[in-house]
Amino acid sequence: MEINKEHITGWLKQLQDSICIALEKADGSGKFLEENWKREEGGGGRSRVMKNGSVIEKGGVMFSAVHGNTPEFLLRENQHSVNDTISTDSKFYATGISIVIHPKNPMVPIIHMNIRYFEMSNGTKWLGGGIDLTPHYIVEEDAKYFHGELKKVCDRHHASYYKKFKDWADNYFFIKHRNETRGIGGIFFDRLNTDENMSFEKNLAFWKEVGETFAPTYCYLINKNKNISFNETQKKWQLLRRGRYVEFNLIYDKGTKFGLETNGRTESILMSLPALAGWEYNEEPAKNSLEEITQGLLKKGISWT
Protein backbone atom coordinates (compact mmCIF):
# COMPACT_ATOMS: atom_id res chain seq x y z
CA MET A 1 0.00 0.00 0.00
CA GLU A 2 1.24 3.46 -0.80
CA ILE A 3 1.44 5.77 2.14
CA ASN A 4 -0.51 8.79 0.98
CA LYS A 5 -2.18 11.78 2.59
CA GLU A 6 -5.46 9.88 3.02
CA HIS A 7 -3.71 7.24 5.08
CA ILE A 8 -1.97 9.83 7.24
CA THR A 9 -5.18 11.84 7.69
CA GLY A 10 -7.14 8.75 8.74
CA TRP A 11 -4.43 7.74 11.18
CA LEU A 12 -4.48 11.21 12.78
CA LYS A 13 -8.25 11.04 13.33
CA GLN A 14 -7.86 7.67 15.03
CA LEU A 15 -5.14 9.14 17.24
CA GLN A 16 -7.38 12.08 18.16
CA ASP A 17 -10.04 9.58 19.29
CA SER A 18 -7.68 7.55 21.43
CA ILE A 19 -6.07 10.61 23.06
CA CYS A 20 -9.48 12.08 23.95
CA ILE A 21 -10.58 8.79 25.52
CA ALA A 22 -7.37 8.59 27.57
CA LEU A 23 -7.62 12.22 28.74
CA GLU A 24 -11.29 11.87 29.74
CA LYS A 25 -10.35 8.82 31.77
CA ALA A 26 -7.46 10.63 33.47
CA ASP A 27 -9.66 13.64 34.19
CA GLY A 28 -12.44 11.59 35.71
CA SER A 29 -15.37 13.91 35.00
CA GLY A 30 -14.66 16.29 32.09
CA LYS A 31 -15.89 15.52 28.59
CA PHE A 32 -14.62 16.79 25.23
CA LEU A 33 -17.17 18.68 23.15
CA GLU A 34 -16.72 18.39 19.42
CA GLU A 35 -17.11 20.95 16.67
CA ASN A 36 -16.59 20.27 12.99
CA TRP A 37 -15.62 23.26 10.92
CA LYS A 38 -14.90 23.98 7.28
CA ARG A 39 -12.31 26.33 5.84
CA GLU A 40 -13.58 28.47 3.01
CA GLU A 41 -10.50 27.91 0.86
CA GLY A 42 -10.53 24.12 1.38
CA GLY A 43 -10.60 21.51 4.11
CA GLY A 44 -11.54 21.92 7.74
CA GLY A 45 -11.19 20.32 11.09
CA ARG A 46 -12.57 18.49 14.08
CA SER A 47 -12.01 20.49 17.26
CA ARG A 48 -12.48 18.85 20.65
CA VAL A 49 -12.35 21.01 23.73
CA MET A 50 -12.80 20.23 27.42
CA LYS A 51 -13.74 22.98 29.87
CA ASN A 52 -13.84 22.73 33.65
CA GLY A 53 -12.94 19.09 34.07
CA SER A 54 -11.76 17.82 37.46
CA VAL A 55 -8.12 18.06 36.38
CA ILE A 56 -8.24 19.89 33.05
CA GLU A 57 -9.35 23.51 33.35
CA LYS A 58 -9.18 24.05 29.60
CA GLY A 59 -7.79 21.74 26.98
CA GLY A 60 -8.10 21.07 23.29
CA VAL A 61 -7.28 18.14 21.04
CA MET A 62 -7.62 19.64 17.59
CA PHE A 63 -7.48 17.79 14.30
CA SER A 64 -7.36 19.67 11.01
CA ALA A 65 -6.73 18.93 7.34
CA VAL A 66 -6.58 21.97 5.11
CA HIS A 67 -5.66 22.45 1.49
CA GLY A 68 -5.65 25.08 -1.24
CA ASN A 69 -3.25 27.37 -3.03
CA THR A 70 0.09 27.51 -1.29
CA PRO A 71 0.42 30.85 0.54
CA GLU A 72 3.20 33.04 -0.81
CA PHE A 73 5.13 33.12 2.47
CA LEU A 74 5.43 29.32 2.32
CA LEU A 75 6.57 29.36 -1.27
CA ARG A 76 9.24 31.91 -0.36
CA GLU A 77 10.43 29.71 2.51
CA ASN A 78 10.90 26.89 0.01
CA GLN A 79 12.88 28.85 -2.54
CA HIS A 80 16.37 27.49 -2.92
CA SER A 81 17.66 30.87 -3.96
CA VAL A 82 16.12 34.34 -4.17
CA ASN A 83 16.34 34.11 -7.94
CA ASP A 84 14.12 31.02 -8.20
CA THR A 85 10.81 31.83 -9.78
CA ILE A 86 7.85 31.20 -7.52
CA SER A 87 5.19 28.89 -8.93
CA THR A 88 1.81 30.55 -8.71
CA ASP A 89 -0.25 27.40 -9.18
CA SER A 90 1.22 25.41 -6.28
CA LYS A 91 -1.27 23.55 -4.08
CA PHE A 92 -0.66 22.45 -0.51
CA TYR A 93 -2.20 19.93 1.85
CA ALA A 94 -1.54 20.13 5.59
CA THR A 95 -2.96 17.88 8.27
CA GLY A 96 -2.15 17.49 11.94
CA ILE A 97 -3.16 17.35 15.54
CA SER A 98 -2.48 20.12 18.04
CA ILE A 99 -2.99 19.69 21.74
CA VAL A 100 -2.65 22.09 24.64
CA ILE A 101 -3.84 21.17 28.12
CA HIS A 102 -4.06 23.75 30.92
CA PRO A 103 -4.70 21.97 34.22
CA LYS A 104 -6.40 23.52 37.25
CA ASN A 105 -3.84 22.36 39.77
CA PRO A 106 -0.54 24.27 39.47
CA MET A 107 1.26 21.06 40.43
CA VAL A 108 0.16 19.44 37.17
CA PRO A 109 2.18 20.71 34.18
CA ILE A 110 0.83 22.32 31.01
CA ILE A 111 1.52 20.10 28.00
CA HIS A 112 1.62 20.73 24.27
CA MET A 113 1.85 18.32 21.38
CA ASN A 114 1.70 18.95 17.68
CA ILE A 115 2.25 16.51 14.86
CA ARG A 116 1.78 17.62 11.30
CA TYR A 117 2.17 16.44 7.74
CA PHE A 118 2.62 18.83 4.85
CA GLU A 119 2.82 18.28 1.11
CA MET A 120 2.86 20.47 -1.98
CA SER A 121 1.80 19.69 -5.52
CA ASN A 122 5.43 19.70 -6.66
CA GLY A 123 6.03 16.52 -4.63
CA THR A 124 7.64 18.23 -1.62
CA LYS A 125 6.46 16.62 1.61
CA TRP A 126 7.55 16.53 5.19
CA LEU A 127 6.65 15.59 8.75
CA GLY A 128 6.93 17.81 11.77
CA GLY A 129 6.01 17.71 15.39
CA GLY A 130 7.02 17.54 18.99
CA ILE A 131 5.91 17.35 22.58
CA ASP A 132 6.98 19.80 25.26
CA LEU A 133 6.13 20.30 28.90
CA THR A 134 5.60 23.52 30.86
CA PRO A 135 5.49 22.75 34.56
CA HIS A 136 4.37 25.68 36.70
CA TYR A 137 6.77 24.18 39.23
CA ILE A 138 9.67 22.19 37.83
CA VAL A 139 10.12 18.88 39.67
CA GLU A 140 13.31 17.06 38.75
CA GLU A 141 11.79 13.60 39.01
CA ASP A 142 8.97 14.50 36.60
CA ALA A 143 11.32 16.25 34.17
CA LYS A 144 13.53 13.15 34.09
CA TYR A 145 10.55 10.91 33.51
CA PHE A 146 9.17 13.11 30.71
CA HIS A 147 12.46 13.46 28.85
CA GLY A 148 13.22 9.78 29.47
CA GLU A 149 10.01 8.73 27.73
CA LEU A 150 10.75 10.96 24.74
CA LYS A 151 14.31 9.69 24.57
CA LYS A 152 13.10 6.08 24.48
CA VAL A 153 10.89 6.86 21.48
CA CYS A 154 13.70 8.68 19.68
CA ASP A 155 16.31 6.03 20.45
CA ARG A 156 14.16 3.29 18.96
CA HIS A 157 14.39 5.09 15.61
CA HIS A 158 17.70 6.92 15.32
CA ALA A 159 20.62 7.42 17.68
CA SER A 160 20.89 11.12 16.80
CA TYR A 161 17.23 12.06 17.13
CA TYR A 162 16.82 12.71 20.86
CA LYS A 163 19.82 15.04 21.14
CA LYS A 164 18.99 16.80 17.92
CA PHE A 165 15.29 17.25 18.60
CA LYS A 166 15.77 18.10 22.29
CA ASP A 167 18.13 20.93 21.32
CA TRP A 168 15.66 22.03 18.67
CA ALA A 169 12.89 22.24 21.31
CA ASP A 170 15.18 24.23 23.65
CA ASN A 171 15.77 26.73 20.87
CA TYR A 172 12.21 26.80 19.59
CA PHE A 173 10.32 27.13 22.88
CA PHE A 174 12.36 30.12 23.94
CA ILE A 175 10.90 33.46 24.99
CA LYS A 176 13.60 35.76 23.70
CA HIS A 177 12.39 38.98 25.36
CA ARG A 178 12.33 37.19 28.75
CA ASN A 179 15.55 35.27 28.14
CA GLU A 180 13.84 32.14 29.40
CA THR A 181 12.52 28.89 27.97
CA ARG A 182 8.76 28.30 28.02
CA GLY A 183 9.19 25.23 30.21
CA ILE A 184 11.47 22.20 30.27
CA GLY A 185 11.20 21.64 26.53
CA GLY A 186 10.94 18.16 25.11
CA ILE A 187 11.43 17.35 21.45
CA PHE A 188 10.69 19.39 18.34
CA PHE A 189 11.36 18.59 14.69
CA ASP A 190 10.27 19.97 11.35
CA ARG A 191 10.63 19.15 7.65
CA LEU A 192 11.51 15.56 8.40
CA ASN A 193 11.58 13.55 5.22
CA THR A 194 14.74 11.66 4.40
CA ASP A 195 17.02 13.04 7.11
CA GLU A 196 19.98 11.11 8.51
CA ASN A 197 19.63 8.36 5.90
CA MET A 198 16.16 7.47 7.17
CA SER A 199 13.51 6.80 4.54
CA PHE A 200 10.24 8.74 4.64
CA GLU A 201 8.47 5.54 5.74
CA LYS A 202 10.84 5.06 8.65
CA ASN A 203 10.43 8.69 9.68
CA LEU A 204 6.67 8.25 9.49
CA ALA A 205 6.94 5.33 11.92
CA PHE A 206 8.92 7.54 14.33
CA TRP A 207 6.40 10.37 13.92
CA LYS A 208 3.49 8.04 14.70
CA GLU A 209 5.21 6.83 17.82
CA VAL A 210 5.64 10.42 19.03
CA GLY A 211 1.88 10.84 18.69
CA GLU A 212 1.19 7.58 20.50
CA THR A 213 3.47 8.36 23.43
CA PHE A 214 1.60 11.55 24.31
CA ALA A 215 -1.35 10.09 26.21
CA PRO A 216 0.42 7.56 28.46
CA THR A 217 3.21 10.03 29.27
CA TYR A 218 0.92 12.92 30.21
CA CYS A 219 -1.65 10.73 31.99
CA TYR A 220 1.16 9.41 34.20
CA LEU A 221 2.03 12.99 35.19
CA ILE A 222 -1.63 13.84 35.81
CA ASN A 223 -2.14 10.82 38.06
CA LYS A 224 1.08 11.46 39.96
CA ASN A 225 0.31 15.12 40.71
CA LYS A 226 -3.41 15.80 40.53
CA ASN A 227 -4.09 15.33 44.24
CA ILE A 228 -1.23 17.49 45.56
CA SER A 229 -2.68 20.40 47.51
CA PHE A 230 -1.80 23.98 46.64
CA ASN A 231 -2.22 27.47 48.04
CA GLU A 232 -3.04 30.97 46.79
CA THR A 233 0.61 31.88 46.16
CA GLN A 234 0.97 28.84 43.94
CA LYS A 235 -2.25 29.64 42.09
CA LYS A 236 -1.02 33.19 41.49
CA TRP A 237 2.31 31.89 40.19
CA GLN A 238 0.39 29.60 37.84
CA LEU A 239 -1.37 32.67 36.38
CA LEU A 240 1.97 34.37 35.74
CA ARG A 241 3.42 31.26 34.10
CA ARG A 242 0.34 31.12 31.91
CA GLY A 243 0.95 34.76 30.99
CA ARG A 244 4.38 33.76 29.67
CA TYR A 245 2.71 30.91 27.77
CA VAL A 246 0.42 33.45 26.11
CA GLU A 247 3.41 35.63 25.23
CA PHE A 248 5.18 32.73 23.55
CA ASN A 249 2.15 31.58 21.60
CA LEU A 250 1.16 35.01 20.30
CA ILE A 251 4.64 36.37 19.59
CA TYR A 252 6.75 33.39 18.53
CA ASP A 253 4.76 30.26 17.78
CA LYS A 254 4.95 29.34 14.09
CA GLY A 255 1.86 27.15 14.19
CA THR A 256 -0.23 30.05 15.51
CA LYS A 257 1.22 32.35 12.86
CA PHE A 258 0.65 29.80 10.08
CA GLY A 259 -2.93 29.24 11.24
CA LEU A 260 -3.82 32.91 11.46
CA GLU A 261 -2.12 33.73 8.15
CA THR A 262 -3.81 30.91 6.23
CA ASN A 263 -7.23 32.00 7.47
CA GLY A 264 -7.54 29.03 9.81
CA ARG A 265 -10.30 28.88 12.41
CA THR A 266 -9.31 31.46 15.04
CA GLU A 267 -11.12 29.75 17.92
CA SER A 268 -9.33 26.47 17.18
CA ILE A 269 -5.93 28.12 16.85
CA LEU A 270 -6.28 30.20 20.02
CA MET A 271 -7.67 27.29 22.00
CA SER A 272 -4.06 27.10 23.21
CA LEU A 273 -4.61 30.14 25.43
CA PRO A 274 -5.55 29.50 29.06
CA ALA A 275 -8.95 30.36 30.58
CA LEU A 276 -7.19 32.88 32.80
CA ALA A 277 -3.69 34.38 32.72
CA GLY A 278 -1.95 37.11 34.65
CA TRP A 279 0.78 39.70 34.39
CA GLU A 280 2.39 41.53 37.25
CA TYR A 281 4.76 44.41 36.64
CA ASN A 282 8.29 43.73 37.81
CA GLU A 283 7.41 40.54 39.67
CA GLU A 284 10.38 38.73 41.16
CA PRO A 285 10.05 35.37 42.95
CA ALA A 286 11.04 35.41 46.63
CA LYS A 287 14.60 34.36 47.45
CA ASN A 288 15.01 30.58 47.80
CA SER A 289 11.34 29.99 47.02
CA LEU A 290 10.11 27.13 44.85
CA GLU A 291 9.17 29.80 42.32
CA GLU A 292 12.75 31.04 42.18
CA ILE A 293 14.04 27.49 41.70
CA THR A 294 11.69 27.02 38.75
CA GLN A 295 12.69 30.39 37.29
CA GLY A 296 16.35 29.35 37.49
CA LEU A 297 15.66 26.18 35.50
CA LEU A 298 14.00 27.96 32.57
CA LYS A 299 17.08 27.82 30.39
CA LYS A 300 18.41 25.96 27.41
CA GLY A 301 20.76 23.02 27.53
CA ILE A 302 19.77 21.31 30.77
CA SER A 303 20.30 17.56 30.44
CA TRP A 304 17.41 15.77 32.15
CA THR A 305 18.23 12.21 31.11
Interacting residues with a second copy (CB under 8 A): 35, 49, 51, 58, 60, 176-178, 239, 243, 246-247, 250-251, 260, 266-267, 269-271, 273-282
d(CA 161, CA 147): 13
| Minimum distance, C-beta of residue 213 to a second copy, in the bound complex (Å) | 26
* Of 57 and 142, CB closest to a second copy: 57
| Minimum distance, C-beta of residue 202 to a second copy, in the bound complex (Å) | 37
Nearest to 295 by CA among 304, 285, 303: 285
Eight-state DSSP code of residue 105? S
Q: How far apart are the first and last CA of the chain?
A: 38
| Minimum distance, C-beta of residue 271 to a second copy, in the bound complex (Å) | 6
Nearest to 5 by CA among 163, 142, 161, 200: 200
Question: Is 112 in the active site?
Answer: yes
* Of 122 and 263, CB closest to a second copy: 263
Give me the DSSP letters along 179-221.
TEESSSEEEEEEEESSGGG--HHHHHHHHHHHHHHHHHHHHHH
Nearest to 127 by CA among 252, 211, 213: 211
| Count of C-beta atoms within a 10 Å radius of residue 284 | 9
d(CA 134, CA 69): 35
* Of 60 and 129, CB closest to a second copy: 60
Choosing from 67, 102, 112, 147, which is the catalytic residue? Answer: 112
| Minimum distance, C-beta of residue 102 to a second copy, in the bound complex (Å) | 10
* Of 197 and 282, CB closest to a second copy: 282
Q: Which helix (H) or strand (E) holds 233?
A: helix 232-251
Q: Which helix (H) or strand (E) holds 112?
A: strand 110-120
Strands 91-103 and 110-120: antiparallel
d(CA 56, CA 249): 19
* Of 22 and 270, CB closest to a second copy: 270
* Of 60 and 186, CB closest to a second copy: 60
Contacting residues for 37 by C-beta, under 8 A, at least 6 apart: 44, 45, 47, 265, 268
| Minimum distance, C-beta of residue 279 to a second copy, in the bound complex (Å) | 4
**C-alpha torsion sign, points 179, 182, 184, 186:** negative
Active site residues: 112
